[in-house]
Amino acid sequence: MTDFSLTAQHTEGDLALAHVAGELDIATAPRLRAQALALIEQGHRHLILDLGAVTFCDSSGFNALVGIFRCAKTVNGTLVLAAVPDRLERMLDLTGLSAVLPAHPTAAHALVAHTRSQDTTPA
């Protein structure tokens, strides 16, 4: 009924960049969660979610993001968001998650930031 898609575009090593498009609601949130968790399970413990094409996000979508974040954390990974819709950004602020979930204006910014953080991380 509601449109939703998750396309993993840039997947090398332990990093995955996934473009999320459509509506994040009670119908699609479980798919977002399942597909993102599958990427983490495949070894991409650092996940960048590009939300630029997300047209709608309610608390179900938000809950899915929290679930993904906590899953990444259990394998010492990270969840980074890019192009966060206004409403979701307010929810992240409201819940204090903006402090632990880095958000970047675009996926490119997020990739650059990730590369830098990898460079500074001791091998």
Partner 1 sequence: MPQAEHATGPAGTPGRRTLSAAEAARMDAVRRYDILDTPPDGAFDRVAAMAARLFKVPVASVTIVDEDRIWFKAAHGLEGVSEISREPGLCGSAILADETLVIPDTLTDPVAVNNGLVTGPMGVRFYAAAPIITGDGHRLGTVNILDTQPRLITKDDTATLADLAAIVLDEMEMRLAALNALRTEQERRIEQEEARQRADQDKNAIQAFASTLQRTLLPPALPVVPGLELACHYATASPQNVGGDFYDVFPLGGKRWAFFLGDVCGKGPEAAALTSLTRYTLRAAALIDPDPDVVLTSLNTALLLDPAIGTRFCTAVFGVLEPHEREGFTVTVATGGHPPAYHLRASGSVEAVQPKGGMLIGALAGAHFASLTIHLGPGEGLLLYTDGLTEARTLGGDMIGEEGLTRFLAARTGPVSAAEVIEDTVDLIDAMPHGAGDDVALLALSVPLADAADGLTATATAHSIAPAGETSESRP
Closest CA to 98 of 90, 106, 110: 90
Pattern 49-78, partner 1, x by CB under 8 A: ---------xx---x--xx--xx-------
DSSP sequence for 14-80: TEEEEEEEEEESTTTHHHHHHHHHHHHHTT--EEEEEEEEEEEE-HHHHHHHHHHHHHHHHTT-EEE
Nearest residue (CB) to partner 1, 58 versus 109: 58
Q: How many CA atoms lie within 13 A of 58 on its CB side?
A: 9
Q: Which helix (H) or strand (E) holds 108?
A: helix 107-120
Q: Select the span of 2-10, 39-47, 90-98, 105-113 touching partner 1 (CB under 8 A).
A: 90-98
As measured in angstroms, the least distance from the Cβ of 70 to partner 1 is 6
As measured in angstroms, the least distance from the Cβ of 101 to partner 1 is 10
Nearest residue (CB) to partner 1, 25 versus 109: 25
Nearest residue (CB) to partner 1, 73 versus 116: 73
DSSP state of 99: G
**Residue corresponding to tokens 């996934």:** 18
As measured in angstroms, the least distance from the Cβ of 73 to partner 1 is 9
- Residues lying near partner 1 in the complex (CB under 8 A) are found at 26, 58-59, 63, 66-67, 70-71, 87, 90, 94-97, 99-100
